[in-house]
Amino acid sequence: MSQPIPVTVLSGFLGAGKTTLLRHMLQAEHGLRLAVIENEFSDTPIDGQLLGREPVQVLTLANGCVCCSIHVELEKALYLLLDKLDSGELAFDRLVIECTGLADPAPVAQTFFAGDELCERYVLDGILTLVDAANAERHLQESIAQAQVGFADRILLSKTDLVDAVRVEALGQRLQRINRRAPLRVVEHGRIDLAELLDIRGFNLNADIAPALSLRPLAPAAATPDRIATLVLKSEQPLDLDKLSAFMQWLLEQHGNALLRYKGVLSIAGEARRMVFQGVLRLYGFDFDSEWATDEVRESVLVLIGDNLPEAEIRQGFAEVAA
- What is the residue-level pLDDT of the chain in tens, covering all 323 positions? 678 999 999 999 888 888 888 888 887 777 788 888 876 544 444 444 444 455 556 777 766 677 766 656 788 888 888 998 999 888 888 999 988 777 788 888 888 886 688 888 999 999 999 999 999 999 999 889 999 999 999 999 999 999 999 999 999 999 999 999 899 999 998 888 888 898 888 888 776 765 445 445 555 555 667 899 999 999 999 999 999 999 999 999 999 889 999 999 999 999 999 999 888 888 888 899 999 998 888 999 999 999 999 999 999 999 999 75
CATH number, domain with residue 19: 3.40.50.300
Same domain as 178, residue 78: yes
Q: How far is CA 144 from the centre of its chain?
A: 14
| Pick from 287, 235, 241, 232: nearest CA to 261 | 232
10 inside domain: yes
Same domain as 188, residue 45: yes
Same domain as 229, residue 105: no
**Residues forming a β-bridge with 255:** none
The strand order across the sheet containing 122-132 reads 56-60, 66-70, 34-38, 94-98, 5-12, 122-132, 154-158, 184-186
The DSSP-derived string for 104-122 is: -HHHHHHHHHHSHHHHHHE
Global confidence as pTM: 0.86
Same domain as 307, residue 250: yes
Same domain as 93, residue 182: yes
**CA-to-CA distance for 130 and 315, rounded, in angstroms?**
31
CATH number, domain with residue 282: 3.30.1220.10
204 inside domain: no
Which residue among 196, 229, 247 closes a domain?
196
